[in-house]
Amino acid sequence: MKTLDDLIADGVQDRFVLLRADLNVPVDGYTITDDGRIQAALPTIRKLREAGAKIVVTAHLGRPKGGPPPGRDQVESLSAVAGRLGQLLDERVFLAKDVVGESAEQMVGRIEPGGIAMLANVRCDARETGSAEERADLAAALAALVPGGAFVSDGFGVVHREQASVVDVARRLPAYAGDLVARETEVLRRLVGDPARPYVVILGGSKVSDKLGVLSNLLPKVDKLLVGGAMCFTFLAAQGHDVGGSKLESDQIDTCKELLTKYADTLVLPTDVVVASEFSANAQTRTVSVSEMPEGWLGLDVGPETVRLFGSHLADAATVFWNGPMGVFEMAPFAAGTTGVAEAVADSAAFSVIGGGDSASAIRAAGLDESRFGHISTGGGASLEFLEGQVLPGIAVLEEGA
């Protein structure tokens, strides 16, 4: 696929560039609580600015139902994001009041070379996620905003979505992979190709069913797969343990039994867990063996013995992939497992890849230096689908045009 460097070599001075970024950051009221995805978009934006492009950013925030942007509502508008991006660039980022309407046209028309404007939340236009015809219609309108322009796909967190601003517009404009998408693709291909060994994968999160595809695809390829998070309790139940009131997918127990039998030497489960009397930061807590779960109590984190066990497998790893927290890290009493595993990954000499989403947020929440990890992905879902062996529409369309 063609890259940002190819576009710049072709020349972008005084030329429009429609940039699809992933700026879907967590927002609490008017405050962005983790600006990691905005930071990750900066290298591509800075390159385009230095080359004199007129940059038009399209992005989404949250999951609005479609329709006009709801004013200053921080859940569905991008005003907080535009403000933060402007701070980081030391440049005002103008935000249109619509996606492809009058405000967008006026805003784009005023961009100077090296300038940047942002369209309203693209998911506020129902055509973004609509039928093929609706997506094509929105893509045509987006392309019309940037006459003579090019398209740069740099939102890795959305390349697994068949959406107008990700796929359809790439068929209407000369399309290039931004630095972030190119790097993410390169790193993940390294993991599914011939990674250095031992190759250790850590999977956490809520549901076995959500990770079944990646479990099935990776288990034959890895040396060890460490299981934490709420999903571990379905595996523990499959081993015959009473998991108390912990989250349990009863319909996945037989699947877990099959995996445990087939990959007995590969799968590594927790040996102790932190349990709570209720789902609350103020609940009573205990650390117990997985064979001694109190009746009705909930498992909300892996315990210190498990952190040491997982750390022993990470210590001599050459490649590590981690996706999903070990517990409810947002609550202080249940954050130690995730932080401990994150520190073990950081201490390892392995090439480590953090699979985006909550894993990346947990690393930043723990205050760990991001340079201690080989790569921190911006796309949790996209990373998992790539590792499952699925075709990602937003990558495939770029390869079509190469």
pLDDT in tens, 26-49: 888 778 988 989 999 999 999 999
Residue 71: band (very low, low, confident or very high) from pLDDT cuts 50, 70, 90: very low
Measure the CA–CA gap between 69 and 183, rounded to whole angstroms: 32
If we measure between CA atoms, which residue out of 373, 374, 379, 375 comes closest to residue 395? 379
- Residue range 309-318: mean pLDDT, rounded: 97
Residue 130: per-residue pLDDT: 94
The half-sphere exposure of 269 on its side-chain side, counting CA atoms within 13 A, is 21
Query: Catalytic residues, which ones?
Result: 37, 207, 357, 381
Higher pLDDT, 348 or 389: 348
Measure the CA–CA gap between 330 and 332, rounded to whole angstroms: 6
Q: Where are the alpha helices (DSSP H) in 51-129?
A: 79-89, 102-109
What token pair was written down for 11? 């020349």
Residue 379: per-residue pLDDT: 81
Residue 76: band (very low, low, confident or very high) from pLDDT cuts 50, 70, 90: low
- Residue range 70-85: mean pLDDT, rounded: 72
Residue 143: per-residue pLDDT: 97
Measure the CA–CA gap between 43 and 399, rounded to whole angstroms: 22
Does 301 have pLDDT greater than 80?
Answer: yes
- Residue range 200-219: mean pLDDT, rounded: 90
Contact (CB, 8 A) for 324 and 211: yes
pLDDT tens digits, residue range 95-152? 999 999 999 999 999 999 999 999 999 998 999 999 999 999 999 999 999 999 999 9
Mean pLDDT for the chain overall: 92
84 carries a ligand binding annotation: no
Tell me what percent of the chain is helix, strand and coil, each rounded to the nearest 5.
40, 15, 40
Would 4-180+394-400 and 197-349 be classified into the same CATH topology?
yes
330 carries a ligand binding annotation: yes
Does 354 have pLDDT greater than 80?
Answer: yes
If we measure between CA atoms, which residue out of 385, 337, 336, 333 comes closest to residue 357? 385
User: Considering the entire predicted model, what is its pTM?
Assistant: 0.87
4-180+394-400: CATH topology: Rossmann fold (3.40.50)
pLDDT tens digits, residue range 222-276? 999 999 999 999 999 999 999 999 999 999 999 999 999 999 999 999 999 999 9
Ordered by start, the domain boundaries in the chain are 4-180+394-400, 197-349
Residue 382: per-residue pLDDT: 87
Contact (CB, 8 A) for 208 and 235: yes
Residue 74: per-residue pLDDT: 44
CATH ID of 197-349, from 3.40.50.880, 3.40.50.720, 3.40.50.261, 3.40.50.1260: 3.40.50.1260
Residue 118: per-residue pLDDT: 96
Q: Which residues pair with 27 in a beta bridge?
A: 32
Q: Where are the alpha helices (DSSP H) in 126-231?
A: 132-145, 179-192, 208-218
Residue 154: per-residue pLDDT: 97
Residue 62: per-residue pLDDT: 82
Residue 384: band (very low, low, confident or very high) from pLDDT cuts 50, 70, 90: confident
Measure the CA–CA gap between 50 and 34, rounded to whole angstroms: 26
Measure the CA–CA gap between 344 and 226, rounded to whole angstroms: 13
241 carries a ligand binding annotation: no
359 carries a ligand binding annotation: yes
123 carries a ligand binding annotation: yes
Residue 339: per-residue pLDDT: 95
Residue 333 is which amino acid? Answer: P
